[in-house]
Amino acid sequence: AVAVLTLVESGKVKLDEPVTAYIKDFAVKEEERAVTVRDLLQMTSGLVDYSTADWDGREKEFSQLNLASHLEWVNDTEPTDAPGTKFHYNNTNYALLAQIVERVSGKSFSQYMKEKVFTPAGMTSSFVVDKLGMKYENPVTGYKNEKAPFVKSFSPVQMPGDGNVYSTIEDMAAWANAMRTNKIISAKTRAMAWSAGKLDDGKAVMYDDVETYGFGWKLNAAKKSVSHSGSWYGTAAYFLHYPELDDTVIVLSNNESLDVAALAGEIGDLF
C-alpha cells in the first residue's frame, strides 16, 4: 500500500482511476463500474481471491505463480461482487497493486520497495522475494502445531505484493519509526491510509464488527490503534501501532499456529 501511495504522492497514480489506466491488459468483466486503485487498496474490488480459489498453496502451479501469470488467471475469472459494494480481504488486490507499481515505475516490485521503502526507512535486512531459489542470510525454519508435536512447514512462492516480504524485528521497528516521522510518505497521506475507506453508498469499509479498514490497515477506533497481520506456511506476524501513544508492538513468529494478533493485543493492553 505504501509503495502505491508514494506513486500517488508523485502524481503518477490516481486513486480513483480504473486499474486499466495502469494495467492495460487487465480484462476482468466489469458491469456496474470499473475497478479502481482505491478499490484494490481498501479491499472492495469484488475480484476473486487467487490464494483461496483454485490453489491450496502447496501445489507446484501455485509456487510458480508470478505477477504475469496471476494476471492471466484473474482475467479468466468473474467478479464475486460489484466494486465498491462489499469488503472482502483479497490477496488478488495487492498482487495487482504490485503490478501497477512495476508498470508505472518501470522497475521490479522488489527493486522499487528497496529504493523507495526499505532504504529510506533504514531497513537494512528487509527484502522482497520474487524468484524461487533466492538465497538469503539467516533464514528461519517455519513450523506449525496442530494437535501434534511441532512439524516443519514451508511452501516457497514468488508472488510479490500481497506478501513475500522478509524482515526482522529491528527492521520492523525502523518501519514504524519511518511511518511516524514521514520518511516515506507525508503525514497527510499517512492520515488518509489510516482512515476508514468508504463504500459507494457512503458507509465505512468494515473489516469485521469492530474494526474498519483503510489502505492496507485495520483501524480500531476504541483502542485508537492501527494494525495488520501476515502469515504463510510456517510463519505469522503482527504489527500493532498506537499513534496517539507513539507505541508499537511487533510480533514475528516461526510458528504459523500462534495467535499473533492475540499476543500483540495483550502486550498492547499494557500501554
Instruction: Share the mean pLDDT of the chain.
Output: 90
Q: Which positions ≥6 away from 137 have C-beta within 8 Å?
A: none
Mean pLDDT within 248-256: 93
Residue appearing with cell numbers 513475500: 164
- Report the pLDDT value the prediction gives residue 163, as an integer from 0 to 100: 79
Q: 55 falls in which pLDDT band (50, 70, 90)?
A: low
Q: Which of 104-108, 137-141, 145-149 has the lowest mean pLDDT?
A: 145-149
- DSSP letters, 182-240, are TSSS-HHHHHHHTS--B-TTSPBPBSSSS-EE-SS-EEETTTTEEEEEEEETTEEEEEE
Percent of the chain topping pLDDT 90: 71
For residue 132, the 8-state DSSP code is T
Give the pLDDT confidence score for residue 34 in this predicted structure: 96
Helices (H) and strands (E) in the chain, counts: 11, 9
C-alpha cell at position 245: 501513544
Q: Are strands 247-253 and 218-220 parallel, antiparallel or unpaired?
A: unpaired
The pLDDT of residue 128 is above 60: yes
Q: Domain segments of the chain: what residues?
A: 2-133+142-268
Distance separating the N- and C-terminal Cα atoms of the chain: 27
- Kindly tell me if the per-residue pLDDT of 233 is higher than 80: no
Whether 58 has a pLDDT exceeding 70, the answer reads: no
Burial degree of 94 (CB within 10 A; 0-12, 13-18, 19+): buried
Q: What span, in angstroms and rounded, lies between the C-alpha atoms of 174 and 123? A: 6
Q: Do residues 29 and 122 make contact, with C-beta atoms less than 8 angstroms apart?
A: no
Q: What are phi and psi of 10, to 5 degrees?
A: -85, 0
In terms of C-beta distances under 8 Å and separation of at least 24 residues, what long-range contacts does 135-138 make, across chains too? 136/166
According to DSSP, the residues that pair with 249 across neighbouring strands are 240
Percent of the chain's residues with pLDDT above 70: 90
The 8-class DSSP code of residue 136 comes to -
Q: Please determine, looking at this structure, whether the domain spanning 2-133+142-268 carries the CATH number 3.40.710.10.
A: yes
Listing DSSP states for 16-65 in one string gives: TSBGGGT-TT-----SSS--BHHHHHTT-S----HHHHT--S-SHHHHT-
- Interatomic CA distance for residues 26 and 22, integer angstroms: 9
Q: Is the pTM of this model over 0.85?
A: yes
* Segment of 65-79, 159-173, 200-214, 248-262 carrying the highest mean pLDDT: 200-214
The pLDDT value recorded for residue 246 is 93
Residue 140 has pLDDT above 60, yes or no: yes
Dihedral pair phi/psi, residue 182, rounded to 5°: 60, 40
pLDDT in tens, 15-46: 999 999 999 999 998 878 999 999 999 999 99
